[in-house]
């Protein structure tokens, strides 16, 4: 019985560590849909780091989350996401400041 308790404890600890490892790189959810196609949710990149060599994601607590569908090898801070989020930033800037005239 003691061995069973240790096994359960180790499984819970391993699951918690796996979840925190996913969250550490910004990935909040990753569902494999087969044939290298995934549904992922990850934290958006901090605006102040979009133009740097080392973009970092926002805290998951901000609620600023990217809902992504596509190849499973997508990185929350990869070049594709940096470009996409820069585009979104410029679009939002245009809507908020330039369309009011």
pLDDT digits (tens, 9 = 90+) for 21-74: 445 567 889 999 889 999 999 999 999 999 999 999 998 888 889 999 999 999
Q: Domain boundaries in the chain?
A: 2-98
| Contact by Cβ (8 Å): 39, 29 | yes
Alpha carbon distance 42, 75 (integer Å): 9
> Rounded distance, CA 29 to CA 15, Å?
14
Cβ neighbors of 5 (< 8 A, separation 6 or more) are: none
Global pTM value: 0.63
Examine the pLDDT at 79 and tell me if it is beyond 60.
yes
């Amino acid at each position: 019985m003691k061995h069973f308790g240790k096994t359960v404890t180790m499984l819970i600890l391993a699951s918690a560590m796996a979840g925190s490892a996913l969250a550490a790189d910004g990935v909040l959810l990753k569902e494999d849909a087969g044939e290298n196609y995934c549904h992922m949710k990850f934290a958006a990149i901090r605006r102040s780091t979009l133009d740097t060599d080392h973009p970092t994601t926002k805290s998951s607590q901000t609620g600023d989350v990217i809902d992504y569908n596509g190849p499973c090898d997508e990185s929350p801070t990869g070049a594709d996401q940096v470009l996409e989020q820069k585009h979104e930033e410029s679009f939002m800037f245009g809507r908020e400041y330039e369309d009011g005239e």
